[in-house]
Structure 1
Amino acid sequence: MDTMTQSNADLAIQSAEAARTLTGQAGHLNELMDFFRRDGGSAEKRMG
C-alpha cells in the first residue's frame, strides 16, 4: 500500500509540473499570437 501511495504522490507531482510547464508555454504562445491581433487589422496589412 505504501508503494502505491508513493507512486500516486509522484504522479501527482509530475502532473503538477507538467501543468505549470504547459501554462507557461500557452502564455508564450499567446504573446506570439498577439502579433496577429494588434490594432484589429490583419497581419497581411502589417507585413506589407
Structure 2
Amino acid sequence: SFGGITPLLTMLSSCACGLTVVNIDNGYGAAVAAHFILGAGDSR
C-alpha cells in the first residue's frame, strides 16, 4: 500500500471538501482541526 499513501489518497478523494485526515496517534492535530471547525480559531 506504498506506506499508507494509497489509503490516504483514497480518504482524501472520496470525501467532502474541508476533510481533515490525521494519524491515529495524532490527537493534537485532531484537536487543532476541531478547534478550527468549531470556529474557535477565528481571529476577530
TM-score by structure 2 length?
Answer: 0.31
Is the radius of gyration larger for structure 1 or structure 2?
1
Structure with the bigger RCO (C-alpha within 8 Å, sep 6+) is: 2
Give me the TM-score of the superposition, normalised by structure 1. Answer: 0.29
Counting helix residues as a fraction of each chain, which structure ranks higher? 1
